[in-house]
Structure 1
Amino acid sequence: MSPNILEPDISYIGDDDSEFFRTVHGRSLNALNSRYMLPVDQDEVKRSELHHRLLQFVFNGRNYIGPVKEALQFGQRRRVLDLGTGGGFWAISMADDFPRAEVIGIDLAPIQPRTVPPNCTFELCDLDQGSIPYPDSHFDFIHARSMHTGIHDYPRFLQEIGRLLRPGGLFLLVEPDLIPIADGKPATQHPHGTGPRGWFTLWETYRACLKIQGIDVTVPQRLAELLAEAGVFERIVLQDGNIPVGFWPDDPHLLTAGQLQWMDYELFLPALKPLFLSSGIAEAKVNRIIADAQQDLYYPSLSTSAQLHIVYGSKCL
């Protein structure tokens, strides 16, 4: 089967899936898209779960914000699509929450559990190439989180979401910002040479490597604008929020979020090594960049945080 062609009723879960993985600089990566350089190994599955738990916490124990329950709870069998499902935790949770809905999670690699609810399936597709292989107006709710770093034409990606949604269908997009925050100010507002330099340098390097690959790193802060420009969405609601990183908050609620984000980043930092090396950075420098960022993560000099951009709305009727 061609990597960018997928029959909607096919799932690779349970099959011999070794052909969908490759080893790059000691980490397991997907084989469908050679430009996507984040790993798809057990550490990444664990990180996917941490990120899912964090967002559940942000959404007050739910898997979504917006009028999703009203749209999925009643009526005919509803269809839900999770783009870039990762470890599949969101899709499984949604299938449990809405047993009458059909939930499909698609990703570059088959790293999802083999045992899932009967109304949940996982399929493979490279979302960065060609059309997403489902009919027009096929889904009632489409969800995507942390996708923009793997999408070279995000406006086209939004058009695909619009094509796949039925009129009035809902979407929820979550994109973390790539500019870190320290003591309430983004890195760009700290005088040069101040702040947690190792932490700032890692994120500067990450953004530079993504730009080399042709990724628009400004997508997260422009989500609402891009959705409006797409011309097919309405009732667009933007909810941004700062997530603490680490154990510095006094508030118990924020402390829990900070702990989850800290554990996410602890796995994320070494996961960047294949991308950095493949971008032409010498290994000694890559090791130093990651080690300096880890030093700032483990022994922070300032209170760091990360910004999440969350947008939901519906397709125009």
Structure 2
Amino acid sequence: MSQPNPHQQIQVDTSDDDSLFETKSCVGSNLSFASSVRDYCYENGRRYHAYRHGQYPFPNDEEEQDRLALVHQLFKLISGGDLYRAPIRPRDEPQEQTPLPRRILDIGTGTAEWALEIAEDFPTAEIIGTDLSPIQPNWAPPNCRFYIDDAESDWTFAPGEAFDYIHARSLNGGIGDWPRLLRQSFQHLRPGGWVEIQEFETLLTSDDNTHQHAPAVMEWLERLNVASKQFGKQINIATHIRPWMEAEGFANVTDDIYKCPIGGWAKDRRLKEIGRLGKLTVMEVVEPYTLALFTRVLGFTFQEAQEHMEKVRAELMNTKIHLYVLFHFIYGQRPVDETNGSSSDTPT
């Protein structure tokens, strides 16, 4: 298992070997948009969900689905291949002595890579994935099911359907009331069960102050945060999850933080590999994060948004700028002794 590294000073690789690699990898990496006969909504050349249209500001087209696959691989690479950090399967105990999860919920399952892999890891558990968009694969293991649902609505699971583990990842910018989401998660956990939220900060910085040479990137991030707040679904929430969980009564709350370089500039071989994928992922996120928020909320025209995105991409391609982003794996437990937990009860 990869260990958190928020205080690690990442050494810079001073060779030029990675510059050509990144140029070839990133240029032309945008994936083609394919139209669909499904009943979706279209805006600025991108496709958005139709169910509760407008509540989620990011697209769901094939280009976005490919980006989500990159994000899934990046989270796994950062965590050393692990799908979760919560101790739902203690590694220092024999498996036959460890009670395994029986019911697992994946909120905002998206293209369901995480749900499908966790279903393989826990073949005796029932895996449920929910999302606003029907973009999950047609085939799934027999222990894995998907439902179109809004996690911000009242959850309708029966008292006998409580979960042992609830997972959510990259919901930043898609949730308006995080305390309520965490409250419902707490209520639908079995005592002793875990909730894990995996998010990255919408903030890029550097240890050597080279981020000061990326003014367009810094302005883009600031405008994203302003627009998301005005939209009602703040995007830079990773650092708030832990106190929100503690306020809702979760025990043993832990925030494992990892540095993710943006680009292959790190000297460390593992961080260099993470950084290459991190850079491609950030390049791919510029358009889906920007279009709706900038045009719907900030009043940009499509052309103005495109021009701003081009400046951002140009700075991201500068190998002399050593940016990184912090990834958070936050997990907490519903107390077994309810007298020490939240006043919220399991739903009846």
TM-score by length of 1: 0.86
Q: 1:77 to 1:61 in 2, by over 3 A?
A: closer
Look up the equivalent residue of 1:274 and give its one-letter code. A
Structure 2 CA distance, aligned partners of 1:91 and 1:305?
28
Q: Does 69-78 or 286-295 show the bigger shift?
A: 69-78
CA RMSD between the two structures:
2.2
Structure 1 segment 118-129 matched on structure 2, within 5 A: 118-128=142-152
2:173 corresponds to which of 149, 168, 176 = 149
Question: Is 1:293 aligned to 2:312, yes or no?
Answer: yes
Q: Secondary structure at the match of 1:182?
A: coil
Q: Does 272-281 or 162-171 show the bigger shift?
A: 272-281
Q: CA deviation at 1:224?
A: 1.2
Q: CA deviation at 1:166?
A: 0.8
Aligned 8 A contact 2:200 2:325 in 1:
yes
Question: Is 1:37 aligned to 2:61, yes or no?
Answer: no
Q: 1:76 to 1:298 in 2, by over 3 A?
A: closer
Question: Is 1:160 aligned to 2:184, yes or no?
Answer: yes
Q: CA deviation at 1:216?
A: 3.5
Aligned 8 A contact 2:88 2:100 in 1:
no
Tell me the equivalent position of 1:303: 322
Tell me the equivalent position of 2:273: 256
Q: CA deviation at 1:75?
A: 4.9
Q: CA deviation at 1:185?
A: 5.8
Structure 2 CA distance, aligned partners of 1:202 and 1:27?
20
**Gapped regions of structure 1 (runs ≥ 5):** 1-15, 188-193
Q: CA deviation at 1:96?
A: 0.8
Question: Is 1:273 aligned to 2:284, yes or no?
Answer: no
- Among all aligned residue pairs of Structure 1 and Structure 2, give the percentage whose two residues are the same amino acid: 28
2:131 corresponds to which of 78, 83, 107 = 107
Tell me the equivalent position of 2:204: 180
Tell me the equivalent position of 1:135: 158
Q: Secondary structure at the match of 2:89?
A: helix
Aligned 8 A contact 2:108 2:129 in 1:
yes
Task: Report the structure, 1 or 2, having the larger strand content.
Answer: 1
Q: Secondary structure at the match of 1:69?
A: coil
Q: Secondary structure at the match of 1:308?
A: strand
Structure 1 CA distance, aligned partners of 2:89 and 2:187?
22
Question: Is 1:48 aligned to 2:93, yes or no?
Answer: no
Look up the equivalent residue of 2:178 and give its one-letter code. Y
Larger radius of gyration: 2
Aligned 8 A contact 2:201 2:326 in 1:
yes
Aligned 8 A contact 1:17 1:110 in 2:
no
Structure 1 CA distance, aligned partners of 2:252 and 2:55?
34
Structure 2 CA distance, aligned partners of 1:270 and 1:305?
19
Structure 1 CA distance, aligned partners of 2:112 and 2:169?
12
2:253 corresponds to which of 211, 227, 236 = 236
Tell me the equivalent position of 1:98: 122
Q: Does 42-51 or 64-73 show the bigger shift?
A: 64-73
Q: 1:76 to 1:203 in 2, by over 3 A?
A: closer
Q: Secondary structure at the match of 1:257?
A: helix
Q: Does 65-74 or 109-118 show the bigger shift?
A: 65-74
Aligned 8 A contact 2:203 2:236 in 1:
no
Q: CA deviation at 1:202?
A: 1.5
Q: CA deviation at 1:168?
A: 0.6
Q: Secondary structure at the match of 1:294?
A: helix
Q: Secondary structure at the match of 2:213?
A: coil
TM-score by length of 2: 0.79
Q: CA deviation at 1:260?
A: 1.6
Structure 2 CA distance, aligned partners of 1:221 and 1:77?
28
Aligned 8 A contact 2:85 2:329 in 1:
no
* Aligned positions, number: 293
Q: Secondary structure at the match of 2:130?
A: strand
Q: 1:234 to 1:81 in 2, by over 3 A?
A: same
**Gapped regions of structure 2 (runs ≥ 5):** 1-35, 337-348
Look up the equivalent residue of 1:104 and give its one-letter code. I
Q: CA deviation at 1:284?
A: 2.9
Q: Does 164-173 or 53-62 show the bigger shift?
A: 53-62
Aligned 8 A contact 1:179 1:186 in 2:
no
Tell me the equivalent position of 1:219: 237
Q: 1:31 to 1:184 in 2, by over 3 A?
A: farther
Q: CA deviation at 1:67?
A: 1.2
Structure 2 CA distance, aligned partners of 1:113 and 1:217?
27
Q: Does 163-172 or 273-282 show the bigger shift?
A: 273-282
Aligned 8 A contact 2:231 2:293 in 1:
no
Deviation string 1:211-262 (CA, Å, 9 cap, x unpaired) is 111224453112111111112x111111112111111112111111112211
Q: Secondary structure at the match of 1:115?
A: coil
Deviation string 1:100-145 (CA, Å, 9 cap, x unpaired) is 11111111101111122111111111123x2122134611100011
Aligned 8 A contact 2:227 2:294 in 1:
yes
